[in-house]
Structure 1
């Protein structure tokens, strides 16, 4: 318990210190004027992008950890086992459908998935839920429809090919992995006679436990979000438009470039369609579709968050599978037209 408390205090102190420094440099005119000689414009640009990514992602992370806390307290292993089909491929289909109806961002989905896996959800079902939740939920589809001038074509392609890609990826994971792939082994709680004889907790006590778990989850995930957001901001600051145009010739090159941008920019899936639409005059529709499919499934900050939850080898393999499947699905979309 003392070790856990020290770790939590270390996370809180570190994140709070970073936030204070960034806030002072961003908002203080005195500090800004005093350091203007020493701080280049690229740093101010990096700082702005870094803060925008954090502001965009933090509300969804907070929602995600609250849902994770709710799952921890109110969802039992028995309930999970009853909801998930025994057949692994049927479980993949069910999880992808549920994920598609669940309004979650790729940042907030990671703590939810970790909690579900620790409760006994198979890793292939968890991956299906994790991929479709941020990619094709109703809010994302509506924002895509609006971003492309109230044209349903791109929204429909994102939903259809995104769902197909999620099914394929989850099925591959089901074939390759049997264990849950968590860094720390999941603790399965059994209800013994002694546990049943304990007095039942009140609703307010359960709410307190939800907040306790949510706080632990937030500071555990938050450090990876901070690091990922900073690295993504650094890449966005250093990549020029001319270099993008240089590597964006042809369907193959443009698709690779747009997938790379989706990974590095680490946009929120509820807003990425508006950024994707801004590239409509530069890149073909296939490359933009790949951009809209790839980013919500996996991006830089999300990779680091997954790295903090799952085994490193599994995260690397999942990254490769997602990349190949999305690229092939985008190519298939281009072929059928």
Structure 2
């Protein structure tokens, strides 16, 4: 083939494509390590600063406290997704939707799962013939009232055992109310039937470990981001600003409700972040704990993918309003 032949010329985007294919997380990590070696003295000075030491202490303490609950919760969620037959709910729930809603919500205590796992499970329930209102009640209740979350809340608030009761009760009430609200106002065309889960084609063992790897990667990443955000709030935000928000009952509730949506924490770990926000009242932190497992950025994205955008744009705002209202009322009575 002659030198002037087009086939002899390398593709114009060859080097760029080669580099794009080779640069991944390992290369990025190697580059960061090289930068740390080159700039080790400035980095050492930065790490010795008192504010950074405080940040590191808060960050590590949240991770150390929360990680065992996160891992255990993810393992339980994987067991439920793989080993519990999907037909179980259709047989166990009453045929009358009004009765199926509270039973499905209460079943979140028996069959726990994190919010990341509850979304595809709820989609599978609807696909198997469970009324959407009952599936949505389970979707909201399971991440908030399961034993792992309640024990984690008790550990995070050792001096306030009433927080466990308040969180469980408020979360269950919100789940049931949203289920009944869907029965009255919801429309079938707002829900797009979910696709079959990717785990269906795998053996039970492979599906179990695939579910664990997926949930640990995603939930663990959100936990790290949440711990970083909580540590940054404690260190970077002036205490007088936080105190101003904390001293105003309305602003404190709204601030922590919005913060729960933005942080997108896993429900097995959010109690430890809430406990670190000690400037705020127990009622405000209860709002944080009730809203977070039901409405946050990752859940809105997951619900859009599983149930459709029309569903998420209606369901998430309604859940937010109901969750804040019920949490405030519960906190006023129990806290």
What TM-score results when the alignment is normalised by the length of structure 2?
A: 0.69
User: For 2:232 and 2:155, how far apart are their aligned partners in 1?
Assistant: 30
Report whether the alignment pairs 1:286 with 2:299. Answer: no
Match of 1:330 in 2: 327
Structure 2 counterpart SS, 1:139 = helix
CA deviations 1:4-61 (Å, max 9, x no partner) are: xxxxxxxxx99x945x4565466x3x24335889x999xxx9xxx8xx7xx8868755
Match of 1:255 in 2: 253
Deviation of the 1:96 alpha carbon: 0.8
CA deviations 1:127-160 (Å, max 9, x no partner) are: 1112111111122222222222253211111112
**Contact 1:258–1:290 (8 Å) recurs in 2:** yes
Report whether the alignment pairs 1:142 with 2:151. Answer: yes
**Contact 2:76–2:112 (8 Å) recurs in 1:** no
Deviation of the 1:94 alpha carbon: 0.6
- Kindly tell me: are residues 332 and 59 of structure 1, through their superposed partners in 2, closer, same or farther at Cα, counting changes over 3 Å? closer
User: For 2:255 and 2:309, how far apart are their aligned partners in 1?
Assistant: 25
Match of 1:198 in 2: none
- 1:1-337 maps to which residues of 2 (within 5 A)? 17-18=24-25, 20=26, 23-24=29-30, 28=33, 30-34=34-38, 64=77, 67-71=80-84, 74-76=85-87, 79-179=88-188, 182-184=191-193, 208-210=202-204, 240-242=236-238, 244-280=242-278, 282-336=279-333
**Contact 1:224–1:308 (8 Å) recurs in 2:** no
Gaps of at least 5 residues in structure 1 are 1-12, 188-205
CA deviations 1:152-205 (Å, max 9, x no partner) are: 211111112221122112211222225385544568xxxxxxxxxxxxxxxxxx
Match of 1:192 in 2: none
Q: Which one has a bigger Cα radius of gyration? A: 2
**Contact 1:227–1:301 (8 Å) recurs in 2:** no
Gaps of at least 5 residues in structure 2 are 1-19, 48-54
- Kindly tell me: are residues 334 and 66 of structure 1, through their superposed partners in 2, closer, same or farther at Cα, counting changes over 3 Å? closer
Deviation of the 1:64 alpha carbon: 3.6
User: For 2:133 and 2:300, how far apart are their aligned partners in 1?
Assistant: 17
RMSD between superposed Cα atoms in Å:
4.3
Match of 2:3 in 1: none
CA deviations 1:105-124 (Å, max 9, x no partner) are: 22222232222222222221
User: For 1:158 and 1:270, how far apart are their aligned partners in 2?
Assistant: 13
**Contact 2:149–2:267 (8 Å) recurs in 1:** yes
User: For 1:35 and 1:108, how far apart are their aligned partners in 2?
Assistant: 42
Give the number of aligned pairs. Answer: 294
